[in-house]
Amino acid sequence: MTGSKESFISNFKAPENSRGLRSQGDQYLVDLPVPGRRSERWKYSPISKLLNTSLNTCSGEGVVWPEEILPDPVPFLDSYRLVFRNGHYVSSLSDMPIDDDVICMPLSEVGAEFTNDYHKREWVGAMNAAYHQDGLFLKVSKNVSLDRPVVIHHLTDGADIAALPRHYIELEEGAGAEVVVWSSASEKSSGMCNGILEANVSSNAYLRVDKICNEAGEIFKFSHEYIKQERDSRVKINTFTIKGHWVRNELEIVANGPGTDSTFNGAYLPTGTEHVDNHTVMDHAYPNGTSSELYRGIMYDKSTGVFNGKVFVRKDAQQTNAFQQNSNIVADKGATINAKPELEIYADDVKCSHGCTVGQFDKEALFYLKSRGIGSDEAKALLVKAYVGDVISSVDREEVRNEILRLYSERHGWA
Amino acid sequence: MLKIKNLHAQVGDTQILQGLNLEVGPGEVHAIMGPNGSGKSTLASVLSGRESYEVTDGSVDFDGVDLLEMDASDRAREGLFLAFQYPVEIPGVSNMNFMKAAINGKRAHQGLDPIKGTDFLQKVKDCASLVELDGRLRDRSVNEGFSGGEKKRNEIFQMAMLEPKLAVLDETDSGLDIDALRVVSQGVNAMRNSDRSFIVITHYQRLLDHIVPDYVHVLSEGKIVKSGGKELALELEEKGYDWI
């Protein structure tokens, strides 16, 4: 029987480690409902088509890396690299830091103490808790900044694959790290990639994450990032969906101390019948926090999209400065975006601003460009590149920025 | 250069141009004056190919080609330039990339290779000095955060870069102080030659003290109702449009 939540996971095999978390996952898989149209969080991103498939977790044996995909997704970046295929670590393609102050290794080789409770709230989270395979474990010691970025490259490759990566990052006081989370999939791929990243950022530490989804094939991709920030820590997360059949990006940032700074941006330009969903939560519970969020999307063809941005400013979070901006261009008649900002503010001495727009190309700007002899398509490309360029420019590393720009350009015919 | 015959145009259901005739020869400067609502800006929009205007009758011949058959970008590539009354701000697109795309669009249309980097930079330098546009403005996003005067100077800078056969200046004097008016006019005058024609649309005579026209036309209710030499502008200034 396909289509039931039991049958969907019936072929999944769990590794032997992390027994505690896995048994909790098993329990919540039973207790929690499958995401459906009745749930506010999932109503624009139904997964019934996925549930009707029969997927398998892979063993990780017999790795053949496809030729068309570079193991190193940002070739010009001087970085460390952890490569995973269908959830499993590929050591021959990886390059890890050797440093007394840094622990960086596959999660399967250490026991991480996960603190987030996503698996108790969402069925897909429970699935990851029960069946996660491998991922990055990164711990940076007090006052140490990792000298190069760490690139996590996850490839989904093959038909009817269930890949469940799980990453853990811990930065001690005053530590710093940059991580690029890159996911790709080969043309022939189908199935699901269900990934979780948890990061604990101690006081005065900083974390930068650039998350890029560039997946061919037909993958349902769930990714949940949970970032906990302590006093005076800084976090910057950029989420780019370059290509993906069905993508759900969830980002949850919890400010767990005063004076935190959180910047998170995203861009999505789906074409064809692609679906991209960005759900973000920024939770200010302490005073003097700052957050800045900018998400921009352009919906082409018959693509569908969701933006949901929650900002909580709790009672004690006085002097919070929270900014949220989401803008969308619906480029074609058949495309759809469901955009919803949600601000819940319980403190009275705060500065919060938000804006959410859905519109078409700026006709005046298009005419202006055309009136100078720039063709219609090129004029649109110039406007789009500028619009998304604001988000891309928030990526700090030039090599990463250029690669994102190159892939978008290639896909959308930008000059 | 330009032959407009019996031009009728409307926006929505409102008929604005109602049988306009105008001939502009090479090297001539024609001023079009008229009260608010007479159709001056509509004429500029129709000539440049703005999509919200519908031409219901008449023809426009531009150096042997049917202007109305072309879309806005092809009109520009054929040598038409419109200096906007309200130049548009385009955040994120640098003035330089904008001009490079425009010049190369025109060059591709003429079967030429893209302009060389060094030639382009030299041209930018020459044209910018013409309207005293400093480097800071050249490198910024198109018109973003420019003052009114800077925007108009940028229009004339673009005109100089693109070297049109015919330039239509739509109320270029609006919002300009006297210094900016002088700079803008100097830029236009420096571009006058025996091949290049101008249509200068203005509500006031003062611009015509700086850009001296060969002909002045008065537009009223979508038609040219009176034509004359530059002295007509002075007469209008003195007596007002009611006099017509």
Shortest CA gap B238–chain A (Å): 36
Which residue has better confidence, A248 or A98?
A248
Per-residue pLDDT, averaged over B66-87, amounts to 96
> Taking a C-beta distance cutoff of 8 angstroms, is the pair A271, A302 a contact?
no
Are the beta carbons of A375 and B92 separated by less than 8 Å? no
Q: Above 70 in pLDDT, residue A69?
A: yes
Q: Above 80 in pLDDT, residue A63?
A: no
Interchain CB contact of A379 with B (< 8 Å): yes
Q: Which residue of A has its CA nearest to B109?
A: A373
- What domain count does chain B have? 1
Q: Which residues span the domain enclosing B117?
A: 2-243
Taking only the tens place, the pLDDT of each residue in A333-363 is: 999 999 999 999 999 999 999 999 999 989 9
Q: For chains A and B, count residue pairs whose Cβ atoms are closer than 8 Å.
A: 82
Give the percent of chain A with pLDDT over 70. 99
Q: So what's the pLDDT on residue A244?
A: 98
> Taking a C-beta distance cutoff of 8 angstroms, is the pair B159, B81 a contact?
yes
Residue B88: phi and psi, rounded to 5, are -90, 140
Instruction: Find which of B80, B86, B93, B107 to mutate to test the A interface (most A CBs within 10 Å of its CB).
Output: B93
What residues in B contact A389, CB-CB < 8 Å?
A: 92
What residues in B contact A372, CB-CB < 8 Å?
A: 73, 76, 81, 98-99, 102, 105, 158, 162
Q: Which residue of B has its CA nearest to A390?
A: B92
Give the percent of chain A with pLDDT over 90. 91
165-204 of B, contacting A, C-beta below 8 A: none
Are the beta carbons of B73 and A375 separated by less than 8 Å? yes
Taking only the tens place, the pLDDT of each residue in A2-30 is: 568 889 999 999 999 999 999 999 999 99
| Alpha carbon separation from A167 to A17, A57, A180, A235 (Å, rounded) | 15, 18, 12, 17
- The H-assigned helical ranges of A140-283 are none
Shortest CA gap B38–chain A (Å): 22
Neighbours of A252 (CB within 10 A): 18
Per-residue pLDDT, averaged over B183-197, amounts to 94
Instruction: Specify the CATH number for the domain of residue B6.
Output: 3.40.50.300
* A28-37 long-range Cβ contacts below 8 angstroms, 24+ apart: A28/A119, A28/A120, A28/A123, A28/A125, A28/A126, A28/A129, A29/A5, A29/A123, A29/A126, A29/A127, A29/A130, A32/A121, A32/A122, A32/A123, A32/A126, A33/A123, A34/A5, A34/A123, A35/A122, A35/A123, A35/A124
Per-residue pLDDT, averaged over A101-111, amounts to 92
Per-residue pLDDT, averaged over A104-129, amounts to 93
Q: So what's the pLDDT on residue A2?
A: 56
In angstroms, the CA B137 to CA B95 distance is: 8
How confident is the prediction for chain B on average, in pLDDT?
93
Per mean pLDDT, which range of A32-41, A118-127, A192-201 is the poorest? Answer: A32-41
Q: So what's the pLDDT on residue A366?
A: 95
Per-residue pLDDT, averaged over A142-158, amounts to 97
In angstroms, the CA B12 to CA A37 distance is: 43
Q: Above 80 in pLDDT, residue B3?
A: yes
